[in-house]
Structure 1
Amino acid sequence: MKLSSRLILSAVAIAMLSGCASQSPYDQSAQTGQTESTGMNKTAKYGGLGALAGAAAGALINHDNRGKGALIGAAVGGAAGAGYGYYANKQEEQLRQQMQGTGVEVQRQGDDIKLIMPGNITFATASADISSDFYSPLNNLANSFKQFDQNSIEIVGHTDNVGGYQYNMGLSQRRAQSVANYLLSQGVNPSRVTTRGAGPDQPIASNSSDAGRQQNRRVEINLRPLPGAQTGTTQQ
């Protein structure tokens, strides 16, 4: 009984500390420096309250091992209490770790996460066949998408403006579909995945230089909350 009580207290403490420490540098509260009068942002507060409720519920549900039930309940309850912002923070943290050194850029804006994959590391020139060296990062992405399954996955292909417009539109769509097909083959839920080819229509750099055209040749993955996801609790 003493051990179970200690585990329950530890579960609550860990989940509440996770809520306090999980604030992303991209959260509005981090950008403005504002806090509530209690000195705790809403993500931490609601995460902590969720952890308390989750730990209690987990202990009650798992009669055989109340300590283990409390640990699981605190983790789930902490995320639910804090809302989608907390959830996105944890996913962003994992993605940044997994994509470090791969050439994939991770961006965050509000509840949305964007992965930018330069074409030179994912595909050979004028090809929609995934480069063999890029399967490992895609495997990590697939595992992350299966673990964090509360967002939609939009895959968008982009090209520079060299060559015919219709050719570039087709190439960008084929590249987006190649990435999607591989993620689906690794067990990602197809109902979450959409693809789109933007061709040369959405450049992020000037096409007047080689460096600019290289930036424009890319595949982006946009992660957004699924309908019904709790949002907005990261703001003050």
Structure 2
Amino acid sequence: MKAWKKFSLMATVAAVALSACATDPMTGQVDRNNTVLGALGGAATCGIVGALTHGSKGARNSALACGAIGAGVGAYMDHQERQLRQSLANTQVEVNRVGDEIRLVMPESITFATGSYQLNSSASSSLNSVSSVLAQYTDTTINIVGHTDSTGSDAINEPLSRNRASAVANYLVSRNVASNRITTAGAGSRQPVASNNTVAGRAENRRVEITVNPIQR
């Protein structure tokens, strides 16, 4: 990056930081918003580093992520949830948020053919969107669990659910999500979310859930 660009970036960061200060009209003293300045401090530092390594786009992305961390874990997860909702808006992937946990529910209809653990094209498209966000927000753990309906025996459903979770995990890893952040499991038919007595209920139970949690430091 050219020297003048580096200087320009630092000047911009300084201007933004100053905007977090307000002058009391009665006393003439400058009051600081420590919460805002703390977040901006992290954003400024990371933004400069991002710019030096990846240009203006790197600055924007690094400042966003680090600024959110400065404001707290909740804000960090808020940014991640917002990006996931935006990128998955035109898919059938359900995005749920409980506290600091984000849960993505992928129905079988867009992930696997019946009885198969080979990802279909719809799953690949959705997982591309998921991975692009998860790869950016690295301070999280990712737990992937496969689920089936009650049709068939445990001898079939258990390995099928495990293999489906592994297939999703392997795809995320192939898209630059670190493998050491990911755990997988197969629940078979043990955790239904709807009645297995109806076609609609069984379809709802056949799913893969991706649960994203912040790393506790």
Question: What is the total number of aligned residue pairs between the two structures?
Answer: 193
Deviation (angstroms), 1:139: 1.2
* 1:178 and 2:183 matched: no
* 1:84 and 2:73 matched: yes
Distance 1:59 1:187, change over 3 A: closer
Q: Does the CA contact (< 8 Å) of 1:54 and 1:76 recur in 2?
A: no
Structure 2 residue identity aligned to 1:50: G
Normalised by the length of structure 2, the TM-score is 0.77
Q: Describe the superposition over 1:102-134 as per-residue Cα deviations: whole angstroms up to 9, x where unpaired.
A: 100000000100000001110001100001222
Distance 2:171 2:200 in 1: 28
Q: 1:1-236 alignment to 2 at 5 Å?
A: 7-8=12-13, 10-12=15-17, 46=35, 48-54=36-42, 75=64, 78-228=67-217
Distance 2:49 2:209 in 1: 42
Distance 2:102 2:166 in 1: 20
Q: Which runs of 5+ in 1 are unaligned?
A: 17-43, 229-236
Deviation (angstroms), 1:51: 3.4
Distance 1:112 1:106 in 2: 11
Deviation (angstroms), 1:142: 1.3
Identity %: 44
Task: Give the root-mean-square deviation of aligned CA atoms.
Answer: 3.1
Q: Does the CA contact (< 8 Å) of 2:142 and 2:183 recur in 1?
A: yes
Distance 1:80 1:13, change over 3 A: farther
Q: Which structure has the greater CA radius of gyration?
A: 2
Normalised by the length of structure 1, the TM-score is 0.72
Structure 2 residue identity aligned to 1:11: V
Structure 2 residue identity aligned to 1:88: M
Distance 1:160 1:52, change over 3 A: closer
Deviation (angstroms), 1:11: 3.2
Greater RCO structure (CA 8 Å; 6+ sep) = 1
Q: Describe the superposition over 1:60-83 as per-residue Cα deviations: whole angstroms up to 9, x where unpaired.
A: 999x9xxx8xx7686465323211
